[in-house]
Amino acid sequence: MEINFNSPCHVYFIGIGGISMSGLASILLSRGYKVSGSDRTKSELTKDLEASGAKIYYGQEESHITEDVDFIVYTAAIREGNPEYDFMMSSDIPHMTRAEFLGQLMKLYNVPIAVSGTHGKTTTTSMISEILLGNDCDPTLSNGGIIQSIGSNIRVGGPEYFLFEACEYTNSFLSFFPKISVILNIEEDHLDFFKDIDDIRNSFAKFAALLPSDGLLVINGEIEGVERILGAINCPYVTYGSTDKYDYYPSDITYDEMGHPSFICHVKKTGESFSVKLGVTGMHNVLNSLASIAVAFHLGLDIQKTTSALTACSGSKRRFEIRGSFDGVTVVDDYAHHPTEIEATLKAARNYPHNDLWVVFQPHTYTRTKAFLKDFVKALALADHVVVAKTYEAREKDIYGVNSVTLYDELKKIGVDCYYFSTFEEIEKFLHKNCVNGDLLITMGAGDVVNIADSLTS
């Protein structure tokens, strides 16, 4: 189905409350479309959509899809057995996945910019968002998290720039049509879909190959097997990395009292060097900022406005987000749910003022926990104390023989001060009793573990 965006109609979203789906629904509302949809529970995102005129149902039933619906958009998480999905598949109503719809939407813009990678997509998208806004580019933005400066994951702007996250899960990013693509890193993840790391690299190579001959690939030159990606493209590329082997690289990295890095950015092609101070923590964000700067240089944006935007950028929600404190304990929440992300966050925390470092970790899916069990143990061991919460099941059931208790047992085996509780209430009581003034507590995971941080600081 080819959508005529100049002829608004009635679109139904199955899973409208998702961070990406809600953004797409907002864009359609701004273009005069009638929007309806469903989700499991009410949220701030669905409330905002309702305030903008969307009709949203809570719970999913066939009857919600009314006769005047012209086409349906659904997420990859919606599958056979869902009443609305089953009705959609048996009906004559045109339908497409979220990724297919996003791919068609980006054709409306002159410069679609896709940010991909196993880690760091949301933060890097936030950085580039702030750069575009700081340079008065009037971008349309679709992020996987809330951009702090605008208080939303979505912004509807002009027809020139459309910046969005490009997720590899289920190969959804192969439905896109970017003019500029960023590849931050390539590691094993989503092994409930991909066979192995070679399968993942193959998908990223196909994604890079989508770029037109007048496009640009911005890629982390330190990615293992990067030559495979570069061999797939028919357009210019630039690399970034931690040494002077790459087109964009840092030197003289220091950290302030809150763990925010400052460094000198070097641009090999022009010979330019300039100072950068970030508003987010960690060496991993130094690299993310280099990718963002490379995009800004390609677009010819003002470097002073670009560096100022990076300083002002405090990231997005749930990325080393300070939520408050209790009894003198600083509480941070972080979305990290892969071992590499956990390690990066805990290393960044070393530069943040604290006595003992506590982590409440909620594993996200059983398949991920099983696939990376040893790596989770190694990464979490960087904390002084670890509390393991019950696994956030998402789309899975506990049938894989590995769960939160397994992770707890493995951490105990290597001498980590570790605890397991099956309920958030038990965890909160334990933390009130054992955390002391000056400690740093990080709630960590892609599920609802953030509720612990909110409860402790309320």
Active site residues: 121-122, 165
Distance of CA 228 to the CA centre of its chain: 25
Q: What residues form DSSP beta bridges with 325?
A: 330
Give start and end residues of each alpha helix (H) in 59-136.
83-90, 98-105, 121-134
CA nearest to 450, candidates 199, 146, 152, 163: 146
Q: What are phi and psi of 190, to 5 degrees?
A: 55, 45
Q: Roughly how many angstroms between the first and final C-alpha of the chain, as a whole number?
A: 48
Q: Among positive and negative, which fits the CA dihedral 281, 283, 288, 293?
A: positive
Give alpha helix (H) positions in 332-383.
339-349, 366-371, 373-380
**Interatomic CA distance for residues 334 and 360, integer angstroms:** 10
What is the 8-class DSSP label of residue 456?
Answer: H
Find where tokens 């969307």 sit: 54
Q: How far is Cα 334 from Cα 253, in angstroms, rounded to an integer?
A: 23
Q: Of the candidates 131, 129, 137, which has an alpha carbon nearest to the alpha carbon of residue 159? A: 137
Query: Is 276 within 8 Å of 296 (Cβ atoms)?
Result: no
- List the one residue out of 368, 347, 315 whose CA is nearest residue 122: 315
Output phi, psi for 426, to 5 deg.
-65, -40
Residue 116 CA to residue 206 CA, distance in Å, equals 13
Structure tokens at 455: 């409860």
Collapsing DSSP states into helix, strand and coil, what is residue 194? coil
